[in-house]
Amino acid sequence: MLESKMNWLVNNQLIDEPTNIHSSPIVNRMLAKRKIHSKEEAESFLYPTKKQLYDPFLFDEMDAAVSRIQKAIQTNEKVMIYGDYDADGVTSTAILVSVLRKMGADVDYYIPNRFTEGYGPNELAFQAIKAHGVGLIITVDNGVAAPKEAKLARELGMDLIITDHHEEQDELPESVAMIHPKLSADYPFNHLAGAGVALKLAHALTGELQDDYLALASIGTVADLVPMVGENRVIVKEGLKALTYTKMPGLMALKNIGKLKGPMTTENIGFVLGPRLNAVGRLQDAGLAVDLLLEDDAVLAAEMALEIDQINKERQKLVQQIFEEANEMIETNYLDDHVLVIAKEDWNPGVLGIVASRIINKYNRPTLMLSIDHTQQAAKGSARSIPAFDIFKHGMELKHLFVHFGGHPQAAGMTVRIDDIEELRLELNRKAASELTPADFHPTLQIEEEINWEEVDMDFPELVEMLAPFGMNNNRPVFQINNVEIKELRKIGAKSNHLKLTGLVGDKQLEAVGFQIGDVVDRLSMGSKIDLAGEIQINEWNGNRKLQVLLKDLRCNEWQLFDFRGKRFTLPPTISPDELAAIYFQPENKPQESKYLTVHAESINEFDQLNERKHILIHDLPNSLEELEGVLGRLSFHTLYACYQIERSSYFERFPSREVFKDLFKTIKKHQVIQQQQRHLLAEAKKMSEDDLDFILQVFFDLDFVKIVDGDIFYIDQTEPKQLSESVTYQQRLNRIKMEKTLYYSNYNELKEWISMRRGRQGKEGVVLHGL
């Protein structure tokens, strides 16, 4: 058996399937599950256009913002775009700097240093900006949580326009205009990213939606993981087109360094462009990323893109190092915590959000990663959470423990006084313990529907792709495929941490790959039937196109048999010795210096923890099938390793016929006594081995046909005939042959079927079956 790593939730909601929307039933079902039932709704969803974007002047204070910016341009007043250091922040910054430059504004940008200033406005930055003669600050992707800094701006004689999308806090800042989708009563869409809000301001200023700005806004929207619905679908759909054909030197250089060709996808942004733009601000000043996006010279842009790529590689190494350190701390000190609060000196705060996400992927618990700075007597870091625990809400309830705090329900940034870290850990764990259930700590996988693989054709992935762009609230559909018979399963990748699977569903072959799940190869045996959950795609290689499943998870409801009969067994590295118990039958065969629990078959009732062991190893052969049946009946293992050997086989030895028994009996009766030294002569005369002779004589001894005194054989007159089967020795030999045939010389399927019929039978019907 192999349990799925996630809880599969199949979208089996009852739907009134729409008619005449699309020719494909699967497309119709997927649309209906997204509450789309009319042709008009389907057209809008499947084919979004710029016309679907809302009028930017629906924002409550857009008029005021545009008027103030136009005044700054007319009076040649210095304008500062105050951005943020993540991909959403730098693309937002690039959009407004670019549009204002084209409008003739005297504009520059400022992005706070993640390490020395932290997120959002700060007083020293505003004072420095004022010293440069700036009269108007426009924040992008920040500002809603800065009432104190807004007040300072007014005192310094600077006007402030805030464009943001983050959660508001207790007090709103004063500003000339607040462009925030959730704070504008008349604006119909609440889920714009920071770049989306900046795009709206650019649209209001110029009266048009330029492709360059759509391309930048699509990067910020995808990278910031906002819901891929409504206007965000339009921004990303149109932005991906613009990104595909962009002539912006910075974007072209970034695509080139990431080896991106052909139509751009959200995956290209999420795994190639976004991480590189994010990496700059995680390790140093984010200005390099903004400069790249604004650069007009292709040569300079290529140099900057190469530098950013190197920074990203450094970021990857740093993330891995911190992840390993944090993992060790969790395993040692915090394994029982509901919320993981992990703090250590000298961690780079810029990558802690990524590490927190990786920790959640492994432990599925809300995670705060903090870097301790003793010079500041504070720790700065990031939090990521699970769906059932709103980290922003709970953080706000503990605001007194934070120096700075802000974010979303599933992600937050913060600064904490060192002396308050332990109290923060205790309070968050107290809240989680009272609010969360065990099920909340088990990740869920949304399944679009169960499908019959035999009905999937090469057009299927293209039909699914019609629902793109995919993202939050419109995830790429994951399909469940049942009863896949494993034909080939192997680890792939430099670290052997991925898997390649070939299987059969009915008569149709299925190929699948799974990343970061190579460990399941050690837990599944060939021929097993499994259920898969994954994305269905086209794999194209050297001009050949074929269907492929990108695995998200898999499960197997069958127990697994690994056949090491006559082979050397080595415990797979992904199986912990604590999960396995070895059972032996012959005392002389007890495993020596074993790392795992070893139990003699006669003692299994004394080991209650045996049923806690999911993996059982049979180390040697029993004396009889009944002996093994008694063991199997008491166990409910997930995996069984058959690891026994045979040094001398009874199965292939010649079993004396009844005529041989008769002939030897007559000879002994005739001579009455066979002396010990005559045995080998008798064996030669009867053309049998001395072992066969000893076996037959032992049978005669069991039946009282002879007696043996000091090795000599004496005939005993018998008044009653007896059957050979009444001999214990004869029965033992038959049972040994039967046992070897069943347990050693059977094929894989025969052995598994035999064990299956006896596994965990104790307490069930008392019928005992022998043989195959």
* Helix, coil or strand: residue 629: helix
User: Rounded distance, CA 233 to CA 192, Å?
Assistant: 10
Which of these ranges, 366-375, 630-639, 647-656, has the smallest mean pLDDT?
Answer: 647-656
The H-or-E segment that residue 106 falls in is strand 106-110
- Beta strand pairing call for 106-110 and 78-82: parallel
- Beta strand pairing call for 411-417 and 378-384: antiparallel
Examine the pLDDT at 706 and tell me if it is beyond 80: yes
Q: Where do runs of H (alpha helix) occur along 105-210?
A: 123-131, 147-155, 194-206
Using alpha carbons, select from 207, 204, 354, 193 the residue that is nearest to residue 283.
354
User: Rounded distance, CA 316 to CA 434, Å?
Assistant: 36
Average pLDDT value for residue range 722-749? 92
* Helix, coil or strand: residue 63: helix
- Predicted pLDDT at 719: 61
Q: Looking at domain 54-311, which of 3.30.70.3270, 1.10.10.10, 3.40.50.720, 3.90.1640.30 is its CATH number? A: 3.90.1640.30
* Helix, coil or strand: residue 540: strand
pLDDT tens across 480-519, in order?
999 999 999 999 999 899 999 999 999 999 999 999 899 9
Question: pLDDT-based confidence at 772, cuts 50/70/90?
Answer: very low
Q: What are phi and psi of 725, to 5 degrees?
A: -65, -10
Amino acid, single-letter form, for residue 176? V
Q: Looking at domain 336-441, which of 3.30.750.24, 3.40.1210.10, 3.10.310.30, 2.40.30.170 is its CATH number? A: 3.10.310.30
Q: How many CA atoms lie within 13 A of 391 on its CB side?
A: 26
User: Rounded distance, CA 495 to CA 320, Å?
Assistant: 14
pLDDT tens across 314-343, in order?
999 999 999 999 999 999 999 999 999 999
Q: Determine what percent of the chain is predicted with pLDDT higher than 90.
A: 72
Average pLDDT value for residue range 700-715? 89
Fold (CATH) for 658-735: Arc Repressor Mutant, subunit A (1.10.10)
Residues facing 378 on adjacent strands? 373, 417
Which sign, positive or negative, has the C-alpha torsion 549, 553, 559, 564? Answer: positive
Non-local CB neighbours of 78 within 8 Å, separated by 6+ positions: 72, 106, 107, 108, 132, 133, 134, 135, 136
> What is the full DSSP assignment across 346-389?
T--GGGHHHHHHHHHHHH-S-EEEEEEETTTTEEEEEEE--TTS
User: Rounded distance, CA 413 to CA 699, Å?
Assistant: 84
Amino acid, single-letter form, for residue 710? D
| CB-CB contact of 18 with 32 (8 Å) | yes
* Helix, coil or strand: residue 487: strand
User: Rounded distance, CA 473 to CA 250, Å?
Assistant: 30
| CB-CB contact of 619 with 648 (8 Å) | no
How far, CA to CA in Å, does 122 sit from each of 160, 179, 189, 386, 751? 13, 20, 29, 30, 71
- Predicted pLDDT at 768: 38
How much is the mean pLDDT over the chain?
92
Residues facing 529 on adjacent strands? 485
* Helix, coil or strand: residue 488: strand
Task: Kindly tell me the burial class for residue 446, based on how many C-beta atoms sit within 10 Å of its own C-beta (0-12, 13-18, 19 or more).
Answer: middle
Question: pLDDT-based confidence at 169, cuts 50/70/90?
Answer: confident
Q: Looking at domain 445-558, which of 3.30.1330.10, 2.40.50.460, 3.40.50.150, 3.40.50.10490 is its CATH number? A: 2.40.50.460
Examine the pLDDT at 718 and tell me if it is beyond 70: yes
User: Rounded distance, CA 717 to CA 706, Å?
Assistant: 8
- Predicted pLDDT at 649: 85
Cis peptide before 121 (omega within 30 of 0): no
| CB-CB contact of 472 with 225 (8 Å) | yes
Residue for token pair 């959403």: 88
- Predicted pLDDT at 16: 56
- Predicted pLDDT at 15: 59
Question: pLDDT-based confidence at 14, cuts 50/70/90?
Answer: low
Examine the pLDDT at 594 and tell me if it is beyond 80: no
- Predicted pLDDT at 771: 39
Non-local CB neighbours of 635 within 8 Å, separated by 6+ positions: 604, 610, 611, 616, 759, 760
User: Rounded distance, CA 626 to CA 60, Å?
Assistant: 82
Q: How far apart are the first and last CA of the chain?
A: 23
Non-local CB neighbours of 211 within 8 Å, separated by 6+ positions: 238, 241, 242, 245, 246
Dig out the tokens for 618 from the structure: 């049979």
Average pLDDT value for residue range 664-691? 88
Examine the pLDDT at 729 and tell me if it is beyond 60: yes
Task: Kindly tell me the burial class for residue 512, based on how many C-beta atoms sit within 10 Å of its own C-beta (0-12, 13-18, 19 or more).
Answer: buried
Q: Where do runs of H (alpha helix) occur along 172-297?
A: 194-206, 211-223, 230-244, 249-257, 266-268, 274-283, 287-294
User: Rounded distance, CA 257 to CA 249, Å?
Assistant: 12
Examine the pLDDT at 627 and tell me if it is beyond 80: yes
pLDDT tens across 402-447, in order?
998 888 888 998 999 999 999 999 999 999 999 999 989 989 999 9
- Predicted pLDDT at 483: 95
